[in-house]
Chain A
Amino acid sequence: DAGVIQSPRHEVTEMGQEVTLRCKPISGHDYLFWYRQTMMRGLELLIYFNNNVPIDDSGMPEDRFSAKMPNASFSTLKIQPSEPRDSAVYFCASSLATRTGGYGYTFGSGTRLTVV
């Protein structure tokens, strides 16, 4: 398996532009997570899906952020309009649930977003 695949690896955009980040989870994994990592705040959970259904989006900072998972093999995180404070590394992760607990996450390589 190729692991969790994220694109693009790097994104530089101007303030006010729309940004779309993409993720392909590991086949067979039933959970997908979007995290944001900064030096000051560490890894923050933005939203997660179970079987393509959004379960908890309480970490989405504001209405400028939206996420979708149209099928089991694809998810997007969109920021519109983008702002400089959105600059961070965005990680997608997937996992497989068990009755006794999760196996832990497999992370993608991340997208480094810079908003100027």
Chain B
Amino acid sequence: QKEVEQNSGPLSVPEGAIASLNCTYSDRGSQSFFWYRQYSGKSPELIMSIYSNGDKEDGRFTAQLNKASQYVSLLIRDSQPSDSATYLCAVNIRGGYQKVTFGIGTKLQVIP
């Protein structure tokens, strides 16, 4: 089992729809969870962080965390073509807030 698992996609959604990106992780002791967006040929960019169970909203983005199920998700409302990118889930594994392991990333395509 990989430490951080994501479906590599591509996930295709029509413009204006909700995109739902999912991630599971292996370490029950994990406490820090991040979503990064990476455009093709660019570096990853932090878009959300979450540390407690529940939802955290920031504009069109909502991060959801369920530690009991070891599951974290990212919802993008009113998806735009500019949201087309690879979304990387990152989780601290085996202690230490600062050391995170990245999933392989889910490629999102928003169709105009």
Contacts and interface: CB of A to CB of B under 8 A. Distances in A.
**Interface size range of chain B in the complex:** 20 to 34
B102 A103 contact: no
B44 to A, nearest CB: 5
A15 interface: no
A94 to B, nearest CB: 10
Majority SS at the chain A contact face: strand
Interface string A88-116: 00010001011011111111111000000
B43 A102 contact: no
A91 B32 contact: no
Contacts of B105: 42
A34 interface: no
Contacts of A98: 97
Interface in B26-56: 31-32, 34, 36, 42-46, 49, 51
Nearest to B86: A42
Nearest to A31: B98
Interface in B53-112: 88, 90, 92, 97-105
A50 interface: yes
Nearest to B93: A45
A43 interface: yes
Nearest to B32: A101
Given A45-B99, A50-B98, A101 B44 contact: no
Contacts of A104: 34, 36, 46, 49, 90
Contact of B97 (A43, A56, A97, A109): A97
Contacts of A102: 32, 49, 92, 97-98, 100
Given A42-B88, A42-B104, A43-B44, 18 more contacts: A31-B98, A35-B102, A42-B103, A43-B102, A45-B101, A56-B99, A100-B51, A101-B31, A102-B32, A102-B49, A102-B92, A102-B97, A102-B100, A104-B36, A104-B46, A104-B49, A105-B46, A109-B42
12 contacts: A35-B102, A42-B102, A42-B104, A42-B105, A45-B101, A48-B98, A97-B97, A101-B49, A104-B90, A105-B34, A105-B46, A107-B45
